[in-house]
Amino acid sequence: MSLAKRVFEFQQIEQAILSRRNQADEIDLRLNHNSAYEKAREELSVAEQGKEDLERQYKELDAEAEQLRNNIQRINDKLYGGKIKNPKELMSFEQEATMLKSNLVPKDDLLLAMMERLESRKAEVQRLQESCKTIEAAWQKEKLDLKVQKDKVMGELAGLEKKRQEIAADIDRSALSTYEGIKGRKSQAVVKVEQGRCMGCRVTLSVSELQRVRGMAIVTCSNCGRILYLS
């Protein structure tokens, strides 16, 4: 077996290792993140915050309305308690009661509208909670499959790493150094020669280059500098 072929095989193993590592990283990402679940949780958080804000506003407005009711009741007690006989004083209390009632009406209307909004918001929160549970359950199920996939990928990766070490031990150190140097500059350090051309840069090789490629030594393309491999 030519040295170039051995280096080419080494490159293929490294590419396979990179592919498996990318697969493992992608699986890890899917195990730790689920965009649909994260979006649902964000929507739920916004809805819950909106519900809490609405509940606080309703409570504050209800307290104001309750204070008005208490004041109206207090005045009514004076008006109809029989203790006040002075007409002017009675008229003053009636005017105050009328004013308080006029202030209470819009608050009661607003409370009713807010109650409807609050019920709608509660229903929305419940819907989103159920949606989150459904999405999370599906994600948990997917995780089981993903863990099986990762175990398989990691097993393949371990086998490839071992193969890489075996091939590296079988390659001349200077040839491996040449390969590593080219790989630092090019995405593919070893390329095939097909129909007399370098498949890295598509340049036609000279007759002398083709003769050298057919030998056992490492030959690089005079144009792109990649290692040439003739299958």
pLDDT along the chain (231 residues), means of 10: 89 97 97 96 97 97 96 89 82 90 95 96 97 97 97 97 95 93 93 96 94 91 95 83
* Res 78: pLDDT: 84
Tokens of 24: 């493992």
* Res 81: pLDDT: 82
Per domain, the residue ranges of the chain are: 22-152, 174-229
Rounded to whole angstroms, the Cα distance separating 118 from 112 reads: 10
Q: Within its chain, how far is the Cα of 190 from the centroid?
A: 37
- Could you count the other beta carbons within 10 Å of the beta carbon of residue 131? 16
3-state secondary structure of 159: helix
Cβ-Cβ contacts under 8 Å for 58 (sequence gap 6 or more): 111, 114, 115, 118
State the pTM of this model: 0.71
The strand pairing partners of 228, in sequence order, are: 191
Sheet holding 197-198, edge to edge: 197-198, 190-194, 227-229
* Res 146: pLDDT: 97
